[in-house]
Structure 1
């Protein structure tokens, strides 16, 4: 994934996004091509793996994986109209799409044993439910159900995060997009922009303005020297 410097997702945000269970697309290579399945994951940070489970009859689980897997994690996106930009009347612009995404790449391990499948499914459930939820089902029934799934682990060998969230816009444009997102209920995207995009845009714009002033000053000094030399 191509990530320009100003769209790099900060590491603390990557850690936060991986800390809670999430829904993502698992992509794996096989002899007959790529396979992809949307599934829930949880991150076991101590072991540096993403854990999920697949149906045993899913070809992605039943045929050998012949290379690294890729987990595509989309954590929010929205259309952005140029009409929302504060500067659009002065400098008309085009629409765009803002988004936050992660790509996790690594070795894939499929464990077909029912015990491993049940451990994976139970670990995810435990993130949301009290123990009595599965206790009510009973271990015998859980063991039978686990025969229909397999455990899958993706080693977190590389993580690339990208947040294309208007950081490259004028700070006034960022503020106006934040206001619109808040108005239509996109509170998480608005909060991200307020915490990350706006400070970045303000610092970037201040740097640009400083460089412009320095360039203008150098031009005036050069012009004054030239005028003095002609005298």
Structure 2
């Protein structure tokens, strides 16, 4: 994934996003090519390693076909179409449409636990991140045990991770403010939150630096003329 420095997701934001359950594509490599399944995943920290945990149906080809290389997880966090009409500066400087997004790519070794205990542990861990204990208690251990025989637990130990937030950081601060107002009204709110907390401060610093450089250049130019 191509990640220009100004579009790199800040490390603290990445850690925050990995604390919750996230849907994404689990991609595995096989002799006849890659296979992918859209599944919910959550991240567990084990010693010094981060592990993405999910489960698959036992008869999924990704389970039945031997994996021949490293796996990849693609977690698309949020995205939105950006109309140029939403930019405060568009009347003065017409722009083209674009698409903002936050995505996380993780690579690593995938392990499949075909035991009912391993499958149930993975499914239980995910459920308990979304619901209270009473949800699974109402189902009962006997039924959960039967259900777990139809799935397998899957773990991807993260060896490399890249995260990109193309979120209008390169726009003028006034454009960021107008985008924030739009998404706070129309959603998704997650877009508005990122623009307000990350993109706008970045744009303000960037344009503040540019203004300082321009002011310095003007000062040198005037001083040189007077001299």
Tell me the CA shift for residue 216 of structure 1.
2.5
Name 1:58's counterpart in structure 2.
Answer: 60
User: 1: CA distance between counterparts of 2:154 and 2:71?
Assistant: 11
Name 2:32's counterpart in structure 1.
Answer: 32
- Residue of structure 2 aligned with 1:118, choices 86, 111, 120: 120
Name 2:6's counterpart in structure 1.
Answer: 6
Tell me the CA shift for residue 88 of structure 1.
0.9
In structure 1, stretches of 5+ residues that fail to align are: 226-231
Q: Please list the CA deviations of residues 32-60 of structure 1 after superposition, one character each: whole Å capped at 9, or x if unmatched.
A: 10101000111112352010000111011
Tell me the CA shift for residue 187 of structure 1.
1.6
User: 2: CA distance between counterparts of 1:111 and 1:38?
Assistant: 19
Name 2:23's counterpart in structure 1.
Answer: 23
Q: Please list the CA deviations of residues 48-82 of structure 1 after superposition, one character each: whole Å capped at 9, or x if unmatched.
A: 20100001110111111111111111111111111
- Residue of structure 2 aligned with 1:145, choices 124, 147, 150: 147
Between structure 1 and structure 2, the one with the greater Rg is 1
User: 1: CA distance between counterparts of 2:101 and 2:16?
Assistant: 16
What secondary structure does 2:139 align onto? coil
After TM superposition, list the pairs within 5 Å mapping 1:189-204 onto structure 2: 189-204=191-206
1:186–1:129 distance in 2 versus 1, CA, 3 Å: closer
Tell me the CA shift for residue 224 of structure 1.
4.5
Name 2:179's counterpart in structure 1.
Answer: 177
User: 1: CA distance between counterparts of 2:184 and 2:78?
Assistant: 14
User: 2: CA distance between counterparts of 1:132 and 1:206?
Assistant: 53
User: 2: CA distance between counterparts of 1:210 and 1:114?
Assistant: 63
Tell me the CA shift for residue 219 of structure 1.
3.1
User: 2: CA distance between counterparts of 1:48 and 1:187?
Assistant: 28
What secondary structure does 1:48 align onto? strand
User: 2: CA distance between counterparts of 1:100 and 1:179?
Assistant: 19
User: 1: CA distance between counterparts of 2:159 and 2:219?
Assistant: 49
- Residue of structure 1 aligned with 2:135, choices 133, 136, 156: 133
TM-score by length of 1: 0.92
- Residue of structure 1 aligned with 2:90, choices 88, 102, 105: 88
User: 2: CA distance between counterparts of 1:51 and 1:14?
Assistant: 17
User: 1: CA distance between counterparts of 2:197 and 2:141?
Assistant: 46
Q: Structure 1 runs of 4+ off > 6 angstroms?
A: none
TM-score by length of 2: 0.94
What secondary structure does 1:3 align onto? coil
User: 1: CA distance between counterparts of 2:12 and 2:54?
Assistant: 23
